[in-house]
Structure 1
């Protein structure tokens, strides 16, 4: 079975909409709909789907006026009844028509052709109509004829004109064929989900005209239409296995707008960047004012960024395809960003940088931010140690004449400060909010494993925590807050659910710390969770192994890291 068909098994038009790489159009069906009526939305930065309605209804009617049901979905078309299909006609339009389904089966493969697509004016199309329901309540019906093209304008209005459905179907199928030709080949038991995750990455590509038509792979076209710095790193790590060029492009976007002091922005999006609390929408700033946090008050701007995993991602992308000149250019930006953390985010001047805002951690709702801010956290310390060492290694490889001593020395100093966050009696690393101890037992306390150089006694205690069924060794994986902690909640974001990125990082930390077999087991458990849960969701309930109720579906970094884990496990 082709990768196209494998991915199609998951395209339910509810958790996985019909879309096209670089398009902003999304097609859904109502989960409880009794017929084949679809909805059409656009995908926009900081706008919910309800605010981006194009058509509240798109239905194909037979000669008697009955709505044809959706009978099949593949990445390049939605089938209605026996004869009609919907496809894309370029990134800004949809096409409805009647192909020759007898020959269409030959196009289900990665390299299938388009021979046999019939003229939509054939007998099968007689009497068919397309009914469009607009958000303002207008209802229009159009004879199907030789095919209809539905163009979506920037203001979300839909314009209907005659179209060449056969050509549109062929072009859309060819585009997806080219994408699936790059899909990583993994173990048989993981290949179906790998094909779907590869579809997710392709589906989440958006065009960013303000950046020279750059291709950003966004976390989700459902609510997360921008290039978040942390997401770009994880997504690039997965993309490298099939499309190293696109992986490099994600890092270029994340590195493209450093501040004068070297700080990298939290988000790059079509309207600009999000780099400080001054850049937040007014609704978010009002919410922050209500929290009463002086640090978060919009009258005192706070830098917004994401954890320092830039060099980690850069090294992994270069492992897939070496690009020395490109690497040297990116490395300069990474070094300036790393220096910013120590110069611009060591808010108490003790040598250990802090998170000045929960957004900068990537774990916005973690209980480590229930106390005062700024927050010194063991995950940040571990990332900084790892990044300085990665920088030294990359410089040795790409700039052999460059001095690397300051990075190695700073890593040693930072690791000593990290060790000061260890509480031997509690048996874990602690976070500190504005100097006050935070006792929450969270996954950030496991991240120091990433240094690979912890003292044996600390390393062994962390390994034991990973194995403790009362804390982190739950049936479906590694929760973000220990199950024994009072703050644990299986559904609340970052307060208990399993996230694929934290699980993947802890697995890498276990391997770096000498526990290769335990790392493999955690990776196996994590890919099993994604398969069991039905796809790469934003986060998962650790008790059931299914999508948490409020989690986004078809989530970019979950798809990318599933692919990375699947490739790693398939090599073992």
Structure 2
């Protein structure tokens, strides 16, 4: 273990036990992701597959949806000092933060001169191993208390204890059990060395009493079990305690197995799981940046996505990434969250991205309704923003998979039709049935009697535009025209929200404007509703430091509004600033798309870059992808008064922004076996290797003075001819390399290069090198053939000739 890079240094958290301090905070390990060594200074945490049956146990503490969690943690005592090192010190009260992996390593100092390195490993689906190694530079006595028991939590993670669960002490081990879903589950904790003594206590605060010899009260004396260890630390000598936790359907079986497992060679087991973890990341495009923190953030994003991965179960037929790792998000497949999650997943795995959407569309009711929240055995009764058509089109631009569009298209149409029928207020404008349905739960736009909402009408207009593109690609020309006309009609209706005096879009209450500036007033840019002059006025609001252009924009409410960072009671009963000021990645993503549509590319790049840096700064707090952020400091909003921020998977969308801004590359259209169209939208500052776009592999290198884009094939070329187009939207140059498989490369026509001498084919190779003009497009029409005759002597293939003539019509 000494050769590993410790991924989380939890130092400075030592505190004296006070009545107002619970003495500990908890984090979780949960199902099936390993530590990726590429993440350097960032942490990854995790959970065993056994949790999928809702009987979770973990090594630090646990969290279980609609039920208790089996937990364990260390307490330390040296002299008169007592410490229970927390792992997420973010809230006033102890909270559970889900963080998933097969393994987690933490390092902390409970006291000055005492260093603890603690590794947690999900050995298998029902077994957990924890290796704790303690060192000190000088001789001292230390007491350790291994505290084990069963906890419960409320909707926001506050901890209570389960009086009904009973811990038992036998032969230096702790056993407990509880009944779930008609079955009794038994847990046993066993250490690798014999404890000095054991006791049963009432609550975490009573852990400090056992160090001082106080007797806890006996009424609840079976809530928690404690094993006490007294260690004599020698200078520089490492002391190791390995303990295991095993779940079983029989107490004797769990106790026997936990004792056997505690004797396992931990280093060998950990190394095996570490090697196995690499398979989960094999298709992730490799990204590096001169700012090492950005490189780490990129890999952290993929770890957190993998950490939220769920197998299909019950009503959900395919694997998916759950929406959130907070207590309320366990197992949940959420509607508009999935639109952003899937767009990120397609950078790595087309199939998983499509299954994220398919899993959701399979929840559709016969009338077209799609629930906003879906569990394996239940669903909600409200819907959410209809933006799945946008997600499907973006996935298709990377995969080129038409069968996926054929599957999704009729379901997308049914959902939009359902929205139109069931959310019309009677005059052609749409309004949300409940605040939660909007996804903007306690936004100030819902403080009054708002009955027509800008965001919903914009989302319908945008979705019809994407449906038109999908229909056209599927050859449904008549339907494509119909959806295009409907998109224009909805954009015309969106203009009813425009306040000419203030140059902003406001929701309506009847015919009156509800004049509160929120991020949804910028959404019309997404669908193309504003005229050019209106778009410019919106951007002036966005770029105003007195309104939306904070250090980390875009705040959900403008900073000059009275409601900015002022709490209100949300539908779950808690007073919070949730959607009343904090910045969110999904809303930023929609604004960025709108800015690009109108050609405000510099503002779009600035906003994307600020979004990336915001997530990077916030990830320092627990190494998680936080849900929302303080627009002034980038801290998770849970760190500011009345804030609330769990971890949500849609924040991973910043990985897509990183490729678009730091690498500057994105597809212009869906790839085919014979064509690829790319756009370079920003001068690259990072390197990318192995980005899959259809059957093409694209890499970007900035190691030389002129950035180079390399295109190759992931599979053999089956088409006799093809075309590659790369549009350079920057004012700089880049080099281009085309490398095909073993066939010879014949070039029919090239545009966008300075002279014909600027390109050439290496003798005997199938590689083409070009240097692009500034602000122009490279277009390469190529032919692949086995013959090695000079180009002038080759007969024109009918297919190839038709291809060229058709392309230039």
Contact 2:45 / 2:104 at 8 angstroms: preserved in 1?
A: no
Residue in 2 aligned with 1:428? 504
Contact 2:50 / 2:126 at 8 angstroms: preserved in 1?
A: no
Cα pair distance change 1:470/1:405, threshold 3 Å = same
Cα displacement string for residues 221-259 of structure 1 (whole angstroms, at most 9, x for unaligned residues):
222120110111111111111122221121112111112
Give the alignment partner of residue 654 of structure 2, picking from 553, 559, 562.
Answer: 562
SS of 2:280's equivalent in the other structure is helix
Q: 2-side partners of 1:521 and 1:156: how far apart?
A: 59
Q: 1-side partners of 2:506 and 2:434: how far apart?
A: 18
SS of 2:121's equivalent in the other structure is strand
Cα displacement string for residues 123-165 of structure 1 (whole angstroms, at most 9, x for unaligned residues):
xx97366999898534265999997652346999994412356
Cα pair distance change 1:187/1:21, threshold 3 Å = farther
Between structures 1 and 2, the one with greater strand share: 2
Give the alignment partner of residue 460 of structure 2, picking from 384, 403, 409.
Answer: 384
Residue 354 of structure 1 pairs with residue 428 of structure 2: no
Give the alignment partner of residue 245 of structure 2, picking from 147, 150, 161.
Answer: 150
Cα distance, 1:39 vs structure 2: 2.8
Cα displacement string for residues 205-230 of structure 1 (whole angstroms, at most 9, x for unaligned residues):
23342146632312222221201101
Residue 541 of structure 1 pairs with residue 630 of structure 2: yes
Residue in 2 aligned with 1:55? 71
Cα displacement string for residues 391-415 of structure 1 (whole angstroms, at most 9, x for unaligned residues):
0101111244662222111111111
Q: 2-side partners of 1:4 and 1:456: how far apart?
A: 47
Give the alignment partner of residue 253 of structure 1, picking from 359, 374, 378.
Answer: 359
Q: 1-side partners of 2:86 and 2:635: how far apart?
A: 26
RMSD, aligned α-carbons: 3.8
SS of 1:139's equivalent in the other structure is strand
Cα distance, 1:86 vs structure 2: 2.6
The unaligned stretches of length 5 or more in structure 1 are 29-37, 100-124, 277-303
Contact 1:200 / 1:555 at 8 angstroms: preserved in 2?
A: no
Cα pair distance change 1:154/1:396, threshold 3 Å = farther
Residue 192 of structure 1 pairs with residue 296 of structure 2: yes
Residue in 1 aligned with 2:605? 520
Contact 1:229 / 1:267 at 8 angstroms: preserved in 2?
A: yes
Cα distance, 1:6 vs structure 2: 4.5
Residue in 2 aligned with 1:182? 283
Residue 403 of structure 1 pairs with residue 496 of structure 2: no
Residue in 2 aligned with 1:90? 124
Contact 1:26 / 1:40 at 8 angstroms: preserved in 2?
A: no
Q: 1-side partners of 2:597 and 2:251: how far apart?
A: 50
Q: 1-side partners of 2:336 and 2:295: how far apart?
A: 26
SS of 1:521's equivalent in the other structure is helix
Residue in 2 aligned with 1:280? none
Contact 1:88 / 1:169 at 8 angstroms: preserved in 2?
A: no
Cα distance, 1:519 vs structure 2: 0.5
Give the alignment partner of residue 378 of structure 2, picking from 249, 259, 272.
Answer: 272
Contact 1:474 / 1:543 at 8 angstroms: preserved in 2?
A: yes
Cα distance, 1:536 vs structure 2: 2.4
Map 1:10-159 → 2, pairs under 5 A: 10-11=42-43, 17-19=45-47, 39-44=60-65, 47=66, 52-57=68-73, 76-78=103-105, 85-96=119-130, 127=193, 136-139=222-225, 149-152=244-247, 159=254
Q: 1-side partners of 2:625 and 2:253: how far apart?
A: 31
Cα distance, 1:54 vs structure 2: 0.5
Q: 1-side partners of 2:557 and 2:485: how far apart?
A: 33
Residue 551 of structure 1 pairs with residue 644 of structure 2: yes
Q: 2-side partners of 1:443 and 1:334: how far apart?
A: 26
SS of 2:129's equivalent in the other structure is strand
Q: 2-side partners of 1:252 and 1:508: how far apart?
A: 24
Cα pair distance change 1:230/1:240, threshold 3 Å = same
Bigger Rg over Cα:
2
SS of 1:352's equivalent in the other structure is coil
Q: 2-side partners of 1:396 and 1:351: how far apart?
A: 26
Cα pair distance change 1:385/1:339, threshold 3 Å = same
Give the alignment partner of residue 440 of structure 2, picking from 363, 370, 390.
Answer: 363
Residue 237 of structure 1 pairs with residue 313 of structure 2: no
Contact 1:27 / 1:39 at 8 angstroms: preserved in 2?
A: no
The unaligned stretches of length 5 or more in structure 2 are 8-34, 88-98, 108-114, 134-190, 204-221, 230-238, 567-575, 665-681, 683-809
Contact 1:86 / 1:95 at 8 angstroms: preserved in 2?
A: yes
Residue in 2 aligned with 1:119? none
Give the alignment partner of residue 222 of structure 1, picking from 304, 326, 331.
Answer: 326
Q: 2-side partners of 1:211 and 1:172: how far apart?
A: 31
Q: 2-side partners of 1:67 and 1:483: how far apart?
A: 41
Q: 1-side partners of 2:422 and 2:320: how far apart?
A: 28
Contact 2:127 / 2:244 at 8 angstroms: preserved in 1?
A: yes
Cα pair distance change 1:250/1:239, threshold 3 Å = same
Contact 2:56 / 2:70 at 8 angstroms: preserved in 1?
A: no
Cα displacement string for residues 381-437 of structure 1 (whole angstroms, at most 9, x for unaligned residues):
211111101001011112446622221111111111111110101211110135543
Q: 1-side partners of 2:540 and 2:199: how far apart?
A: 59
Cα distance, 1:439 vs structure 2: 0.9
Map 1:440-479 → 2, pairs under 5 A: 440-479=516-555
Contact 2:325 / 2:646 at 8 angstroms: preserved in 1?
A: no
Cα distance, 1:169 vs structure 2: 3.2
Q: How many residues align?
A: 493
Higher mean displacement: 423-432 or 529-538: 529-538
